[in-house]
A = this chain, B = another copy of it.
Amino acid sequence: MRRIRIFVAYDGTNYCGWQIQPNGITIEEKLNKALNRLTGEDIRVIGASRTDSGVHALGNVAVFDTESPIPPERFSYALNQRLPEDIVVVKSDEVPFDWHPRYQDNISKTYEYHIYNAQMPNPLKTRYCTFVSFPLDIGAMREGAKYLIGAHDFVSFCNIRTNTQDTVRTVYDLTIEKKDDEIVLRITGNGFLYNMVRIIAGVLIRVGRGFYTPEKVKEILEAKVHTSEGATALPNGLVLVKIDYK
């Protein structure tokens, strides 16, 4: 028996998120089925990040245990033959049997939130960007973003349905860049609460629009109450870029 780790990229548009559920097709389910077809074993992957319905990934991580003699690095190729085009196993390797993708010291995760900011929508951007038609003030968004960097109780920036007790997280970095009509928020931290990146994106879009002042971000953070869920930005703009294990 060996433990194999896989790095998984997917277009989340056609999936009800990562985690298996009764009423829709999920990434986890597709991976389990491909592993079953490949090895004949009843394999259940353990994922690092349970991305929401419609959210994309370039580097989610998962592990599974197998008796298969396939060399660790060959699993990526073998699985890609058995997966739909919108799920790709980018890399595979072997890890120690007690290695768990969620319970590791010094994990850092990087997400990007993509906004298409123009007068008219662009049909080649709708799948991977949220469309915002009113002009966004990048300077104000950056000013608001700086309050979020560091260790904070992010309870104001998570969905009320979260079942986590400890809502303190550390944001290592949060940058906002604009290229042509596309704005990218890139955020790195030691972990993110349920809907946290989408609520941060939504609040910063309100700042960019002038609906909130940059200081309002600090106010929301310090209030420590669930009031910002209405701002939750749409899932299609979100990508889990990578998970680093130090």
Q: Which residues of A contact B (CB under 8 A)?
A: 9-11, 56, 58, 76, 80, 85-88, 90-91, 120-124, 126-128, 239
- Chain B min CB distance to A34 (Å): 14
Of A56, A87, A122, the most chain B CB neighbours within 10 A belong to: A122
A88 adjacent to B56 (CB under 8 Å): no
8 closest cross-chain pairs (CB), A and B: A11-B123, A86-B123, A90-B120, A88-B123, A9-B123, A88-B121, A10-B123, A11-B124
What chain B residues lie within 8 Å of A9 (beta carbons)? 120, 122-124
Chain B residue with Cβ nearest A83: B123
A123 adjacent to B87 (CB under 8 Å): yes
Chain B residue with Cβ nearest A9: B123
A-B pairs with beta carbons under 8 Å apart, 16 shown = A9-B122, A9-B124, A10-B123, A11-B124, A11-B126, A11-B127, A56-B123, A80-B120, A80-B121, A85-B123, A86-B123, A86-B126, A87-B123, A91-B120, A124-B128, A127-B127
Q: A58 CA to B39 CA in the complex, in Å?
A: 45
Given contacts A85-B123, A88-B121, A127-B127, 11 further A-B contacts (CB under 8 A): A9-B122, A9-B123, A10-B123, A11-B127, A56-B124, A76-B120, A80-B120, A80-B121, A86-B123, A86-B126, A88-B123
Of B56, B88, B123, the residue contacting A120 (CB under 8 A) is: B88
- Chain B min CB distance to A85 (Å): 6
B85 adjacent to A124 (CB under 8 Å): no
- Chain B min CB distance to A228 (Å): 27
What chain B residues lie within 8 Å of A122 (beta carbons)? 9, 58, 88
Chain B residue with Cβ nearest A85: B126
Of A76, A80, A85, A120, the most chain B CB neighbours within 10 A belong to: A120
Q: A9 CA to B123 CA in the complex, in Å?
A: 7
Chain B residue with Cβ nearest A76: B120
Of B87, B124, B126, the residue contacting A58 (CB under 8 A) is: B124
- Chain B min CB distance to A111 (Å): 14
- Chain B min CB distance to A86 (Å): 5
